[in-house]
């Protein structure tokens, strides 16, 4: 669900070396060129190049990556910055560093940022075959306890938005303010999921969110981005290898657990009463704007902001505007 953006100008140093290899292979016989290009793919893995670039950007803002074992769960997370703590929760499609780097860098100047990979994404895992929202919440609360954080602002997109909602509703003593991005919370029903399957002409939305082929990666990118960048086949292969070759069964299990709980979500304990900012991409094909309007109407202290020319990941497509909205909201500016 989350964007797989094209390389930025800052990513080009390592990528130029990969491009040079391909240019040189183009001057040789077709067979030799093909063999050389194929052998260079691991060294020219665009996902790894981009991840290293993002890691350097985070480190320059004082964030560091950590791994910690919390009972049966193992979490990888980035943490750094000074000020009130902010917890960033990603969605499907990519782990935390790909989803939140623009926000983490901006927020770390005024807030203490905690940015975990959720269970079965990135560097996080569990020995338990429990794919429920409650298991994810247990792991997140254990991480906050590990870091000595009593109360936190929470920002979540898509699946991470569902977790942000539930964390604030069930554990209100731990959450100050909430930002939910393109995520319908407890207003989502099974009929909404059936309508989603009809729109995408699939029997299981795991076919969309956990791709197996180049074409499925391209479809996911088009869903996430209003103006999806071109993605060469070799780059799509890198995406499949790095982001989707592991934990496919577990990630599909997470989605199935959300769908199974949709009809009883309103019966879950607690209620979201904290000040809440809802941010929606006007053209979101997964959770259409009408769901955002329903969610706003269901919450006592929520404001919905709609970003034009955005789909399912407005925090990436319009990072500066999104960051300004979020920082003002977290500061309590009117």
CB neighbour list of residue 104: distance below 8 Å, 6 or more residues apart: 58, 61, 63, 78, 88, 113, 115
Whole-angstrom Cα distance, residue 258 to residue 315? Answer: 23
- Compute the average pLDDT of residues 75-87: 98
Question: What is the spatial distance between Cα 333 and Cα 301, in angstroms, rounded to a whole number?
Answer: 15
Q: DSSP for 204-232?
A: -THHHHS--SHHHHHHHHHHH-SSPPP--
Question: How far is Cα 219 from Cα 229, in angstroms, rounded to an integer?
Answer: 12
Please tell me the least confidently modeled range out of 26-40, 219-233, 246-260, 311-325.
26-40
Please report which confidence band the pLDDT of residue 187 belongs to, taking 50, 70 and 90 as the band edges. very high
User: Mind listing the pLDDT tens digit for each residue in 103-139?
Assistant: 999 999 999 999 999 999 999 999 999 999 999 999 9
Residue 36 has pLDDT above 60, yes or no: no
- Pick the closest to residue 138 from 153, 161, 119 (CA basis): 119
Over range 178-182, report the average pLDDT.
Answer: 99
Which pLDDT belongs to residue 20?
44
The share of the chain scoring above pLDDT 70, in percent, equals 87
What is 77-116 written as a DSSP string? EEEE-SSSEEEEE--TTS-HHHHHHHHHHHHTTTSEEEEE
The least confident of 65-74, 209-218, 269-278 is: 209-218
* Average pLDDT score, the chain: 88
The larger pLDDT score, comparing residue 305 to residue 221, is at 305
Query: Binning pLDDT at 50, 70 and 90, where does residue 44 land?
Result: low
Among 118-127, 191-200, 238-247, where is mean pLDDT lowest?
A: 238-247
Residue 1 has pLDDT above 60, yes or no: no
pLDDT exceeds 80 at position 34: no
Q: What 3-state DSSP class applies to 154?
A: strand
Predicted confidence band of residue 45 (pLDDT cuts 50, 70, 90): confident
- Give me 159's structure tokens: 């699946």
Q: What is the mean pLDDT of residues 263-280?
A: 93
Q: Are 279 and 181 in contact (CB under 8 A)?
A: yes
pLDDT band at 29 (very low <50, low <70, confident <90, very high): very low
Q: How confident is the model at residue 231 (pLDDT cuts 50, 70, 90)?
A: confident
DSSP β-ladder status, 112-116 and 73-80: antiparallel
Q: Which helix (H) or strand (E) holds 23?
A: helix 12-25
More confident residue, 213 or 311: 311
Say yes or no to pLDDT of 12 above 80. Answer: no
Using the structure block, give the residue that is written with the tokens 């792991």. Answer: 139
What pLDDT does residue 26 have?
40
pLDDT, average across residues 159-182: 98
Residues 320, 170 contacting (CB under 8 angstroms): no
Compute CA distances 277 → 154, 156, 287, whole Å: 10, 11, 16
Q: How far apart are CA 312 and CA 226, in angstroms?
A: 8
Architecture of domain 65-331: 3-Layer(aba) Sandwich (3.40)
pLDDT at 229: 81
pLDDT at position 18:
53
Residue 302 pLDDT > 70 = yes
């Amino acid at each position: 669900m989350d964007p797989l953006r094209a390389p930025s100008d800052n990513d080009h140093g390592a990528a130029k070396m990969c491009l040079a290899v391909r240019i040189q292979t183009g001057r040789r016989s077709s067979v030799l060129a093909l063999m050389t290009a194929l052998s260079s793919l691991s060294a020219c893995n665009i996902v790894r190049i981009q991840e290293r670039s993002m890691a350097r950007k985070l480190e320059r803002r004082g964030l560091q990556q950590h791994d910690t074992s919390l009972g049966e769960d193992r979490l990888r997370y980035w943490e750094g910055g000074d000020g009130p703590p902010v917890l960033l929760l990603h969605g499907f499609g990519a782990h935390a560093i790909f989803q939140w780097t623009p926000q983490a860098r901006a927020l770390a100047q005024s807030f203490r940022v905690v940015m975990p990979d959720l269970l079965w994404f990135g560097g996080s895992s569990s020995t338990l075959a429990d794919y429920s929202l409650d298991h994810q919440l247990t792991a997140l609360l254990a991480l906050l306890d590990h870091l000595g954080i009593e109360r936190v602002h929470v920002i979540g997109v898509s699946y991470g938005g569902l977790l942000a909602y539930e964390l604030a509703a069930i554990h209100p003593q731990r959450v100050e303010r909430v930002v939910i991005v393109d995520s319908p919370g407890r207003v989502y029903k099974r009929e909404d999921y059936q309508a989603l399957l009809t729109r995408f002409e699939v029997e299981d939305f795991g076919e969309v969110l956990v791709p197996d082929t180049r074409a499925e990666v391209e479809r996911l990118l088009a869903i996430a981005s209003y103006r999806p960048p071109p993605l060469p086949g070799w780059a799509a292969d890198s995406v499949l290898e790095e982001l989707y070759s592991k934990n496919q069964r577990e990630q599909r299990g997470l989605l199935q657990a959300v769908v199974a709980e949709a009809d009883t979500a309103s019966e879950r304990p607690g209620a979201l009463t904290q000040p809440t900012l809802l941010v929606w991409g006007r053209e979101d094909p997964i959770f259409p704007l009408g769901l955002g309007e329903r969610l706003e109407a269901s919450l006592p202290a929520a404001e919905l902001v709609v970003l034009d020319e955005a789909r399912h990941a407005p925090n990436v497509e319009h990072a500066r505007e999104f960051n300004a909205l979020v920082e003002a909201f977290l500061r309590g500016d009117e």
